[in-house]
C-alpha cells in the first residue's frame, strides 16, 4: 500500500504559505505547502496539523479537505494565532513565502505541479500549466 501524505494550504490575508524544500530532502529546491507523511494510526488531518507544526512552527486548524488525490490529502487551513512567527525546520525547509495562488508559479519549481494545479482549480483558481511541463 502506498504511504499517504497530508499537506496544509494555510491561508492568511488571501495568500498561502509555500516552503522551499532544503538540500537535505527529496525534491530539494522545489516549493510546496507544508506537509508530509501520515504515520501509522494517524488520520490525514492530524498528520497535516503535526507536519505544519514541525516544518514551520505554526499551530493551525483545518477548514476543509480540498482534495484527496490518490494518497495525497490537501487541507485548507488557517492559523490559530495570526501573529505567530514562522520558524522553519531548517533540515527540511530553507525558505518560505506567502503567495497568492495566481502568482505561485513565480516562486520557481513547484513540487507535484500537475497535482497542485488540480488543487488550485478546486479552490477556484485556473492557472495555465507552463509549456515546459506539458
pLDDT, tens only, 39-68: 999 999 999 999 999 999 999 999 999 999
What pairs with residue 21 in β-bridges?
93
Taking a C-beta distance cutoff of 8 angstroms, is the pair 56, 97 a contact? no
Torsion angle, alpha carbons of 100, 25, 23, 80, to 10: 40
Collapsing DSSP to helix, strand or coil, 54 comes out as helix
Q: What is the mean pLDDT of residues 130-134?
A: 63
Residue 117 to residue 129: CA distance in whole angstroms: 8
**Which of 2-6, 40-44, 64-68, 102-106 is predicted with the least confidence, judged by mean pLDDT?**
2-6
How much is the pLDDT for 128?
80
Q: What is the DSSP letter of 101?
A: G
The reported pTM is 0.92
Q: What is the mean pLDDT of residues 83-101?
A: 94
Among 81, 92, 25, 32, smallest CA distance to 58 is for 81
The phi-psi region of residue 84 (left if phi > 0; otherwise alpha if psi is between -120 and 50; otherwise beta) is beta
Looking at the predicted structure, is the pLDDT value of residue 133 above 70?
Answer: no
Residue 107 to residue 21: CA distance in whole angstroms: 12
Domain with residues 5-127, CATH architecture: Alpha-Beta Complex (3.90)
Residue 10 to residue 29: CA distance in whole angstroms: 20
Q: What is the mean pLDDT of residues 108-132?
A: 89
Amino acid at each position: 500500500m502506498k504511504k499517504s501524505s497530508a499537506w496544509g494550504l494555510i491561508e492568511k490575508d488571501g495568500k498561502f504559505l509555500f516552503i522551499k524544500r532544503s538540500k537535505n530532502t527529496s525534491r530539494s529546491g522545489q516549493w510546496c505547502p507544508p506537509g508530509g507523511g501520515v504515520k501509522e494510526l494517524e488520520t490525514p488531518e492530524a498528520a497535516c496539523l503535526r507536519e505544519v507544526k514541525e516544518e514551520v512552527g505554526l499551530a493551525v486548524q483545518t477548514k476543509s479537505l480540498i482534495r484527496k488525490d490518490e494518497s495525497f490529502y490537501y487541507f485548507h487551513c488557517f492559523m490559530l494565532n495570526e501573529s505567530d512567527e514562522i520558524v522553519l525546520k531548517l533540515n527540511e525547509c530553507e525558505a518560505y513565502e506567502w503567495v497568492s495562488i495566481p502568482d505561485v508559479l513565480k516562486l520557481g519549481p513547484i513540487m507535484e505541479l500537475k497535482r497542485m494545479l488540480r488543487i488550485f482549480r478546486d479552490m477556484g483558481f485556473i492557472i495555465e500549466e507552463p509549456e515546459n511541463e506539458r
